[in-house]
Amino acid sequence: MSETTPPQNPYQASAPLSPADEKLWATLIHVGGIFFLFLPSLIGYLVLKDRGPFIKEHTRVALNFQITMAIAYVVGYITIIIVIGGLILIAVAVVVIVFSIIAAVAANNGQLYKYPLTIEFIK
């Protein structure tokens, strides 16, 4: 009779990311928010939050910012019937691009970044 090894637990915790990988994923999540709104930050938060404190903080702040901007987009679309809605949509688009680039550069440099104009939904 031969002894076999027990199957590995498929639910065990994932290994932490290296600092370089954490910086890469944080940068990609911030840049992804420019093109896909909150999906990259949501997926990143759900998948990577337990892989290191740096990536957890960046995905959390990115998700909070993107949810806040999604609310602003909805307000812009609702008020599109009056001229202010178009201005809101343009302003939100500019804010998302500018602050996401600033956050991506900070993440790439290994620094934490806190977006301004953000409601803290996830603490």
Res. 14 pLDDT band, cuts 50 70 90: confident
- Residue 49 is predicted with a pLDDT of 93
- Residue 15 is predicted with a pLDDT of 86
| pTM score above 0.95 | no
> In terms of Cα–Cα distance, which of 25, 4, 40 is closest to 104?
25
CA distance 70 to 92: 9
Q: How far is CA 89 from CA 22, 63, 71, in A?
A: 32, 19, 11
Res. 32 pLDDT band, cuts 50 70 90: very high
Average pLDDT over residues 57-65: 97
Give me the amino acid identity at 3: E
